[in-house]
Structure 1
């Protein structure tokens, strides 16, 4: 989190000092240019920039400083009582008043967005229960990083349950953002938590999820998910339009598990998607598998480069899976050098070594 906060603090410091830097530059240029050229109207840039990040009082104070600079410079230029300077003073006063109003409206909107985000985050915390650190003979780790884009909480979802048929999990991403996405995630997770215990295979779980979504969602909403089941040295996967998980073998081999067939996301069954088929992969002692949402692989650095997850999963070497995943998350935040624009969830399963 420190890697994310430092650029934000630097940006705020620059914005706070910008009005004073601009007014100082205008005063210096006006002194050097002499009375023949009038740069004093540019002092209005001070309160204008102050309204971008400052409070109403701060904006008013910057406007007062602009006037305090304007009057002595006008006297120095010999234009103190002339109509041009009176117009400049009136302009500074008018721009300061408008900037104060803009600052007030900005702060009110920020408070509203903060309140909406708190509600959405509270709903999301209730919805997304902590995953167990151990499930059967698996060790489980989770990383969830919420986006910092206004109040646009995403619809990432995950769950791990131990059933008579083995350890079953779900990870997914709801199309859209905000409280509507959280509501959709609630429907999916509620259906999964019931179906995971009742159905004999993942195809049955998938059918239950489709049925639940068909009751509650419109035709334009969909959810990408991966359903997985671990048992007897294998992992079964059913991928519905979600980014492929990455398998890390005990011997160091790494490869993504691409689906054998293209399967539409949940909620789009009316478009004629074929009956899904489970994909079975060996999953032995010491093997790991990383599930993630698209907020991870779509995270960009300052140059616009996507995060190269496949090239960075070699970081998952710590003895404790949670420490390993925390290191990968730190690398992700270091790559982007700022706040995430979309929620990013990662779920790591490691089979215990005998």
Structure 2
């Protein structure tokens, strides 16, 4: 693996150059009766926090030349008063170079860990299609984990016959453990969403996957949604933040369920039935699915981000530019603090009835009956009917 490059701060050169010039000019102005040669040892020490070991050595040598010229001006060269400061400068340069070497190694290791963790996050989430069935889609993810862009928020989209299904979820906790739980929930969604007739069945299989994993100490809030070609929206909510509906003419409405559902993994603690929400979307209507890291973002005084009054940002331009504008506004609200929680955003726009030809794959021998399984988008299915799940032998 190539060692990742670590860019130096823009002010890296200015700090040590400024210190060097300040010492030299001050020494000259004070005259030969006052010497500041000992202060030149601070220059490589300052540089050690901002550049590489080789850079520190070069700066130390350059500083020694300037210190020698100043010592010559003060008529101290060849005397103990001139030799000792230069010796100290050399010793400080050596130790500063060693310190810079250790720091850059640690930064390289941290960068590598961050790159690996980020790659794992992208592998688990994967890129979303810009268009799926009757919807345009864009997503944005931001992690609160220090040193690595990983977390427990997740989303996914899968095409189904006559529409599209999606999930947005939030694992309790942060970091790599939460990422592992999110991977379990996503795997169950991807396996069951294309073949289950009801969203509640998909949620049940996700909950069962968490139970098989033994993640009793973690639960998952999630929203499952299905948008049909005719604009019919079916949404089930497992204790998650309600999505927002943004009608094309204007306004905003919460897609709140008729009753709150228990989070996935906590089904045994109460009524596990998810909350259900139904609506018909018109072409151009948008929906924002998000995790609580968005509306619970706080400013320096503890005030939550006022999402409800900033949804017009999501109507401007494309879906991607809308999400970017919202992220920028949230960062402005929370500055200078860093994100306190993971945040996943998925913005969807209903485009109208989807009339694309069905997805096709190479089929088996001629004469085999072909039809879709449950909600599967692959209508020209290569698997014989008798081998498919949920096969009805009376067909």
Range class of TM-score, shorter chain: 0.7 to 0.9
Change (3 A) 1:39 1:292: farther
Q: Which position in structure 2 is the counterpart of 1:187?
A: 184
Q: Is 1:196 equivalent to 2:180 in the alignment?
A: no
> C-alpha root-mean-square deviation of aligned residues, in Å?
3.7
Q: Deviations over 1:289-308 (max 9, x none)?
A: 11123454566789998765
Q: Is 1:173 equivalent to 2:170 in the alignment?
A: yes
Whole-angstrom distance in 2 between the partners of 1:262 and 1:54: 55
- What residue ranges of structure 2 are gaps of 5+ in the alignment? 1-5, 354-395
Q: 2:67 aligns with which of 67, 70, 76?
A: 70
Q: 1:116 aligns with which of 107, 113, 116?
A: 113
TM-score, length of structure 1 as denominator length: 0.79
Q: Which position in structure 1 is the counterpart of 2:311?
A: 313
Q: How many Å apart are 1:166 and its aligned residue?
A: 5.2
Q: Deviations over 1:107-163 (max 9, x none)?
A: 222222232233333333332233333334333233346779533423332111233
Alignment of 1:10-25 (within 5 A): 12-25=9-22
Q: Is 1:213 equivalent to 2:210 in the alignment?
A: yes
Q: Which position in structure 1 is the counterpart of 2:103?
A: 106
Whole-angstrom distance in 2 between the partners of 1:70 and 1:287: 70
Q: 1:277 aligns with which of 230, 255, 274?
A: 274
- Secondary structure of 1:13's counterpart equals coil
Q: Deviations over 1:214-247 (max 9, x none)?
A: 2225444343322223346543333345443221
Change (3 A) 1:49 1:135: same
Q: Is 1:133 equivalent to 2:159 in the alignment?
A: no
Q: Is 1:246 equivalent to 2:244 in the alignment?
A: yes
Whole-angstrom distance in 2 between the partners of 1:33 and 1:265: 73
Whole-angstrom distance in 1 between the partners of 2:29 and 2:232: 78
Q: How many Å apart are 1:329 and its aligned residue?
A: 0.8
8 Å contact from structure 1 (residues 67, 89) kept in 2: yes
Whole-angstrom distance in 1 between the partners of 2:235 and 2:342: 23
Q: How many Å apart are 1:309 and its aligned residue?
A: 4.1
Whole-angstrom distance in 2 between the partners of 1:310 and 1:60: 56
Q: How many Å apart are 1:50 and its aligned residue?
A: 1.8
Whole-angstrom distance in 1 between the partners of 2:257 and 2:26: 65
Q: Which position in structure 2 is the counterpart of 1:336?
A: 331
Q: Which one has more relative contact order, counting CA pairs under 8 Å at least 6 apart?
A: 1
Larger radius of gyration: 2
Q: How many Å apart are 1:179 and its aligned residue?
A: 4.4
Change (3 A) 1:54 1:259: farther
Q: 2:321 aligns with which of 326, 330, 335?
A: 326
Q: Which position in structure 2 is the counterpart of 1:143?
A: 140
Change (3 A) 1:316 1:38: same
Whole-angstrom distance in 2 between the partners of 1:36 and 1:242: 74
Q: How many Å apart are 1:190 and its aligned residue?
A: 0.7
Q: Deviations over 1:265-310 (max 9, x none)?
A: 434556x254233231423213211112345456678999876544
Change (3 A) 1:298 1:326: farther
8 Å contact from structure 1 (residues 302, 336) kept in 2: no
8 Å contact from structure 1 (residues 263, 273) kept in 2: no
TM-score, length of structure 2 as denominator length: 0.71
Q: 1:96 aligns with which of 86, 93, 96?
A: 93
Change (3 A) 1:26 1:327: farther
